[in-house]
Structure 1
Amino acid sequence: MADQTIQRVEIDGGVVVGVDSSASSLRALVLAAEEARRRNAALHVVRAWSLRTAPRPADCPPSVMPSMDEFQETVRADTERLVDEKLGDHSDLRVEFHIVHSPSPQALLSASKGADLLVVGHRGRGGFAGLMLGSVAEQCVRHAACPVLVVRPNV
């Protein structure tokens, strides 16, 4: 199998959303899809992963270390499943997946260089639950090359 591991995101226009399976990022996904529809633009779903955060391939025995390509494909399948579950029928929307073996801030900031809008959840799965803004969202707000929409939970 050829090396399919991607380490940076390069796009040309559209709405970018960071997804990590947290409730906040899934809400961001829904709002990013609405914004992409309003703009008649592509929705770029970015999911950064590492060996620590990637779901393990289901068909890989516990005593075997999966290849990077196997992790990449498992993360892609998991992300596609999340998008299908949250957006339902999204045939009216051009969705492009960017599954990136990279820290989240770097993946999102590289995508922001070509994006019209970057959408992120207020905080992801890590860190401290009481934070108003997670570290990834904070870095995006400070360093993105395009406007950033930070999505708070629906309360």
Structure 2
Amino acid sequence: MDDSTQGIGLPIVVGVDGSPQSLLALKWAKKLAVPLGAGIKAVTTWHLEVTYGPYTASDWDAEAVAHQVLAQALLDAFGDGPPDGLTAECHRGQPAQVLMEQGKSAQLLILGSRGHGGFAGLLLGSVSSACVAHAKCPVLVVHASDDPDAAQGAAIQRSERRDVDEPAGGV
């Protein structure tokens, strides 16, 4: 594959956790899918921490909750008219690791700047920071003020995919 066709036909992967930023990420994916000739793959992750010691049994099903979060996010972002080429997947694992793995076969990874993780004062969440630094495909980080409906002709630039594990800025 030469540089001029790199990424064509590969999906846009969107990290979805139900946060307002992830809903904006889905809307950005819809806006960019046609110009990039891409489908959209919405990805939600779920992970259970292993704990030792006494615990209380629960009927809580993390995977079922992840599927519910993803379905609700797609409904909130697209209503009854999801875009053509939309697929949705739930994966077990740490969010950054799952999204970087999905990015290996994507032309673009779109993430919200902050999800439902820890310290809300951070400009970038830990998942988006890890993906920006280590993903094999270009990463678009969407902030709360980045409304795709207000954007006038978003510029699209294709960057090279990294084939080795190196920071985005090189070594």
Distance 2:83 2:122 in 1: 36
SS at match of 1:132: coil
Query: Per chain length, whose mean CA-contact separation is higher, i.e. which structure has more relative contact order (CA < 8 Å, sep 6+)?
Result: 1
TM-score by length of 2: 0.69
Moved more, 27-36 or 88-97: 88-97
Identity of aligned residues (%): 36
Q: Say whether the 8 Å CA contact 1:37–1:93 is kept in structure 2.
A: no
Q: Say whether the 8 Å CA contact 1:13–1:115 is kept in structure 2.
A: yes
User: Where does structure 2 lack aligned partners over 5 or more consecutive residues?
Assistant: 1-8, 50-56, 147-171
Q: Where do residues 6-45 of structure 1 align in structure 2 (5 Å cutoff)?
A: 13-45=10-42
Distance 2:133 2:64 in 1: 31
Identify the match of residue 137 of structure 1 among 128, 145, 159: 128
1:146 maps to 137
Larger radius of gyration: 2
| Cα displacement (A) at 1:149 | 0.3
The alignment of Structure 1 onto Structure 2 pairs a total of residues equal to 132
TM-score by length of 1: 0.75
SS at match of 1:139: helix
User: Where does structure 1 lack aligned partners over 5 or more consecutive residues?
Assistant: 1-11, 53-62
Identify the match of residue 50 of structure 1 among 42, 47, 50: 47
CA RMSD of aligned residues (A): 2.2
Distance 1:77 1:132 in 2: 27
